[in-house]
Amino acid sequence: KATVSVLNWLINQKMVRFGLFHVATAVSGVLALVALIVYVTVHYVIGMQYMTCFGGTFGTFGNQMVRSKPFIEFQVQRDVAYIFGMHDLLYETTTQYQEIEVYAHRYFGHVLVIDGSLQITERDEVNYHEMTAHVPMAYLPDAKKVLVVGGGDGGALLRLLQHPNVETAHLVDIDMYAMRNIVASYFPFLYSAYTDKRTKAFAYDGSKWVDEQLEVESNRGSYEVVVLDSTDYGASESLFTESFYRRLKQLMAKDSILVANLDSPSWNLDTVTAVQLHLAGIFKHAVVMQSHQPTFLSGHYSFIFCSDEIHPMKAPIDWDKFIAKNIDTYYYNEDIHYASFALPEGVRRVLSQGTQFKDLPASPFTKRAFLQEPTKESLLLHEMKHGAGAEEDEDESLARDDL
């Protein structure tokens, strides 16, 4: 555009007859060539990209220029790709089982990638891991023996160990040694899961480990909380069979809970539905719960809650006992717990088992939300809405106004 403007000005000034038109054309061509060379050098040689952020009045130009190289994660089934502008590749290795990379990102911090698929980031791993651990522990506040299969990053185990009642914690990951070293170097805030005196970690194929544990009679029925935290492919394939789940169940106590990671119910509902139907044939209750995981494809993720004795909406929870543990959480709380089981209608109607808020027992949550005596604040709010003379026969409606 600048070149055209210059040429138009020259023509308007009738300077073409002096040969300046040809000079301007040559200069414009040289400038265009230089611009092309700079663009190619910046973007493809030294891997720099312009990043624009419209956070201010005029916006900032991504701190002018940010050195970043794109990491692209593909969702082949949906023909979608996510692009992360990684600041640097900190570490990469190929083990006997998988390819592991650790990147640095200016916003998400350190990022763990396994076989080309993003696993965790420093910024939002807490969403995922708090759900896998605190949801089952809320129902079993005195659970003493827990098991994590997969989860070599230590995130799920770390949150289980936040519960002081846990006395024995076993972690089984086929690539445990590699993962432990990576966590120590790049995710040190998770490393205490490995160093906790209650932890015993095994570098073992999860399926084979379960078989060996079943050979010892005292191991049967001994685990109260089990978390299956695996990748969706590769080294974890032995964990996706009916035989594995049935054998794993033999290690679980009667009043126990299994939580396993699933997939995106928004983009991969077929997978979520198939797994839920499959596990409903093994456990009496196999209920899908959801979480917000921003860096996962679609941002909408799900887990499955499995138990023979505990229904997530009908079993009572002693929230006073949970609060007394003084666990500092970022994502998980009492309301998120129940809301995670409130699935979108398009998801709920295709599952063989669903949950509804009307199934809730008279727990502290339901008492606060629906059965609580009206507070002064709720009475004042009700008066402002309906007038001082408005009659109200039931305290329930006042509590709902308060909510």
Distances (CA, A) of 229 to 64, 124, 129, 263, 301: 40, 16, 9, 12, 13
63 CB-side CA count, 13 A: 5
291's tokens: 């979480």
Q: What is the chain's alpha carbon radius of gyration, rounded to the nearest angstrom?
A: 28
Determine the Cα–Cα distance for residues 34 and 39; give it in Å rounded to an integer: 9
Q: Which residues are catalytic?
A: 229
> In terms of DSSP H, where are the helices of 19-143?
20-40, 125-139
Q: Are 111 and 121 in contact (CB under 8 A)?
A: yes
Determine the Cα–Cα distance for residues 155 and 38; give it in Å rounded to an integer: 44
Q: Is 274 strand, coil or helix?
A: helix
Determine the Cα–Cα distance for residues 112 and 241; give it in Å rounded to an integer: 26
CA 20 to chain centre: 63
CA 278 to chain centre: 23
